[in-house]
Amino acid sequence: MLVILSEAKNLQILHCVQDDTDMLANAKRIVIKIGSSLIINEHNLVRESWLASLAADILALKHQCKQVIIVTSGAVALGREVLGYGYGTHKYELELEEKQAAAACGQIRLFSHWKEALRFGTETLYPAQILLTADDSINRRRYLNARNTLNTLLENEHIVPVINENDTVATEELRFGDNDRLAARVAQMAGADLLILFSDIDGLYAADPRINPQAEFKTEIADITPQIEAMAGGAGSAIGSGGMATKIAAAKIALSAGCHMIIARGTGEHPLRTLQDGGRHTRFIAKESPLSARKHWIAGSIHPAGSVTVDDGAAKALKSGKSLLPAGVTAIEGNFDRGDAVLIRDGGGKVLGKGLISYASTDAARIKGRKSQEIEQILGFKRRDVLIHRDDMVLE
């Protein structure tokens, strides 16, 4: 991976041109979920030409200045063949241990197909493999870690994070089991503004269209009401494990994170181009941006673990929209970890706001009142120049 990264660093700037006419025009960071039934055929082989067409679409999005994250299924399906587990007409339900073993064998095959697909004559995109468990989206430190890694990877425009669930180590109790919800968690973690779930169904219907061909197609959903949830039946496809129910669960996660979501059929070649050309889909509209959803979450749901006191200059800077630098901090109270929420107080003790802090209390105490350039020298490492970034802060 390091070799690939350093190789990518030396590449020339990828030329991208912003175009405001297509339907994905406003999205800057897009998570695209690819279901097993798209990437794998009935003989348990990768659909090479389809994958090449999707990769070409991804490159086109990169040329439109978008950041793209892929969540791909297919490891278990590809691993079945290696281990001699039945597939095609001999397919049978695998035990958890068998799924885990199949995922271990299949993931490497899956990733190598992605790597090949993202190599285009003169231009090359580099996939960066990330395997996540549900715990990575629940445990705060691990969540922050994964989030930082994603952000760092996305700073390089040639990198495409390619994510799957770490099925090999995920335990039954702590397992997504479907990549729809995993993709929504990834979208939340990455602060993405659009999540696209490509599957073998073109969107949400008021009833199961296989049973009722007249079922009404839903083009736009603004609220996930109990009626909408009732429309989502069980799993539908023969290969993947996501059905409409997991897609609705994904929509709830995405929308609460300020991320729009699209469900579209991805089985045909060039699924993204098809979508951009107006292909049929259901869109779920988020009511706020990822940033304001994050700020609401900071304001509402996390309990402060301590507080920082700032001087008058810093208090003024915060009000004008600046981040909090260590130089403006006069005192640290409480015992907190990196990523915890803390209150921000002025010299008189008045609460000015709340934010997620970039350094643990012991480290914050050592760098308070000091210049950001000194952080590395004092601590022996530096995470960020700021103690609390303005995107991680809400003021009273």
Binding residues for ligand GLU, per CB under 6 A?
36, 73-77, 164-165, 167, 178-179, 240-242
Nearer to ligand GLU, 74 or 353 (CB): 74
Nearer to ligand GLU, 100 or 307 (CB): 100
Nearer to ligand GLU, 191 or 242 (CB): 242
Nearer to ligand GLU, 178 or 392 (CB): 178
Q: How far is the CB of 38 from ligand GLU (least distance, A)?
A: 10
Please answer whether residues 38 and 200 qualify as being in contact, where contact means their C-beta atoms are separated by less than 8 angstroms.
yes
CA distances from 144 to 151, 267, 338, 376 (A): 10, 34, 9, 21
Task: Please list the alpha-helical segments (H only) found in the chain.
Answer: 2-9, 36-39, 48-63, 75-83, 96-117, 134-138, 140-154, 179-190, 226-231, 244-256, 271-276, 290-301, 312-319, 361-367, 375-379
d(CA 277, CA 74): 27
d(CA 338, CA 342): 10
Q: How far is the CB of 79 from ligand GLU (least distance, A)?
A: 8
Q: Which residues of 169-198 are buried (b: 16+ CB within 10 A; e: fewer)?
A: ebeeeebbbbbbbbbbbbbbbbbbbbbbbb
Nearer to ligand GLU, 241 or 330 (CB): 241
Q: How far is the CB of 101 from ligand GLU (least distance, A)?
A: 12
Question: CB 382: neighbour CB atoms within 10 A?
Answer: 16
Name the helix (H) or strand (E) containing 394.
strand 393-395
Nearer to ligand GLU, 253 or 314 (CB): 253
Helix axes 179-190, 140-154, angle to 10 degrees: 70
Q: How far is the CB of 78 from ligand GLU (least distance, A)?
A: 8
Nearer to ligand GLU, 73 or 282 (CB): 73
Q: How far is the CB of 18 from ligand GLU (least distance, A)?
A: 33
Q: How far is the CB of 35 from ligand GLU (least distance, A)?
A: 6
Angle subtended at Cα 358 by Cα 355 and Cα 363, rounded to the nearest 5 degrees: 120
Please answer whether residues 362 and 313 qualify as being in contact, where contact means their C-beta atoms are separated by less than 8 angstroms.
no
Q: How far is the CB of 296 from ligand GLU (least distance, A)?
A: 29
Short-list 23, 102, 38, CA closest to 70: 38
Q: How far is the CB of 126 from ligand GLU (least distance, A)?
A: 20
The residue to which tokens 């969107």 are assigned: 203
Nearer to ligand GLU, 200 or 311 (CB): 200
CA distances from 147 to 185, 186, 191 (A): 11, 9, 9
